Amino acid sequence: MAIVFQPTEGLTKKPLHYCPGCNHGIIHRIIAETLVEMGLLDDAIGVASVGCTYNSYEYFSCDFVQAAHGRAPAVATGIKRTHKDKVVFTYQGDGDLASIGTAEIIHAAARGEKICAFFVNNAVYGMTSGQMAPTTLLGQVTTTSPFGRDASYQGYPINVSELISNLTGAVYVERVCVTDYKNIMNAKKAIRKAFECQLSGKGFAFVEFLSTCPTNWGKEPVEAMDWLKEKMIPQYPLGCFKGADVDFTKADENEEVKS
């Protein structure tokens, strides 16, 4: 009988601890699969952050460094500068990347660090139990915006991909989601392209994954997927913000002329 589905070598056999319906499992898997498919698993060094994925190093089977809250892009900078021939990526949530780690992500992008940042945006703090995140939608109820996020009181959500795409050092920026097969395949393409971008040495690559948090949203998994599509995507439109037309697997013409 033909094997149609099996565990990826890019993940360990340790069972994931994420809540039912959470998208982290899917995102972990497609990153790990991509590393394997691109033959990068032995050369990859991941950086885990603080949040629900603090121990993602137990799931990925490549080398992994756990970073302080928000500091993953700085830690990744130290690693990548030390091992320029390795593939370095961060895996960060919205509180980590868009709140406490704003300086680190902006400046890693501005410096054009040859790393990939994978940003999982579920519009809420997960691990600390459902507080308002920088990406929480207007009107969204959280444990620290119990009456719904009020722009006049708590300000506005941050569209991180749009922000990052304004920086010259960021050469590939895309927002994806993993709500269904088509979107998962699309997200996987974005992951591949981010790694290709890093291998090309052209600069910083950023992929934002919209993700569900059924537990802290107080929704059933399927309901949460619908809420993501109906509420999150209008605020955070999917698509490539930078580098859509670039084929990072090809040396650019100028370089060819030089060589």
Partner 1 sequence: MAQKRVLMKGNEVIAEAALRAGCRNYFGYPITPQTEVMHYMAKKMVQIGGNFVQAESEVSAINMVYGAAAAGARVLTSSSSPGISLKQEGISYIAGAELPAVVVNIVRAGPGLGGIQPAQGDYFQATKGGGHGDYRNIVIAPASVQELYELTVEAFNLADKYRMLVMILGDGTLGQMMEPVAFRDVEPIEVYDKPWACTGRGDRKEHNTITSIYIDPDTLEVKNRELQDKYALVTANEVRYEAFGLEDAEIVITAFSTCSRISKNVIRQAAELGIKVGMIRPITLWPFPSQIISETAAKSNVKAFLDVELNAGQMVEDVRLAVNGQKPVYFHGRMGGNLPTQKEILDKIIEIHNGGNN
Instruction: For residues 94 and 96, give the distance between their C-alpha atoms in angstroms, rounded to a whole number.
Output: 5
Q: Looking only at residues 3 through 22 of this chain, which bind partner 1 when binding is defined by CB under 8 A?
A: 12
CA dihedral 89, 95, 97, 100 (to 10 degrees): -130
Instruction: For residues 126 and 34, give the distance between their C-alpha atoms in angstroms, rounded to a whole number.
Output: 26
Q: How far is the CB of 78 from partner 1 (least distance, A)?
A: 3
Q: How far is the CB of 164 from partner 1 (least distance, A)?
A: 15
In this structure, what DSSP letter does residue 26 have?
H
Instruction: For residues 129 and 49, give the distance between their C-alpha atoms in angstroms, rounded to a whole number.
Output: 17
Q: What residue has token string 């991909």?
A: 161
Contact yes or no for 116/203 (Cβ under 8 A): no
Q: How far is the CB of 100 from partner 1 (least distance, A)?
A: 10
Q: Looking only at residues 173 through 232 of this chain, which bind partner 1 when binding is defined by CB under 8 A?
A: none
Q: What residue has token string 């459902």?
A: 130
Q: Determine which residue in the list 26, 30, 31, 75 makes contact with partner 1, applying CB under 8 A.
A: 75
Instruction: For residues 204 and 109, give the distance between their C-alpha atoms in angstroms, rounded to a whole number.
Output: 6
Asked whether position 138 contacts partner 1 by CB under 8 A, the answer is no
Query: How many residues form the binding site for partner 1 (CB under 8 A)?
Result: 39
Measured from the CB atom, the residue of 12 and 143 that comes closer to partner 1 is 12
Contact yes or no for 180/123 (Cβ under 8 A): no
Contact segment (CB under 8 A) with partner 1 among 43-51, 151-159, 163-171, 216-224 equals: 43-51
Contact yes or no for 211/23 (Cβ under 8 A): yes
Q: How far is the CB of 52 from partner 1 (least distance, A)?
A: 13
Per-residue x/- marks for partner 1, 110-129, CB under 8 A? -x------------------
Q: Determine which residue in the list 23, 77, 121, 136 makes contact with partner 1, applying CB under 8 A.
A: 77
User: Which residues bind to partner 1, rule: CB under 8 A?
Assistant: 12, 41-45, 47-48, 54-55, 57-58, 60-68, 71, 74-83, 86-87, 103-104, 106-107, 111
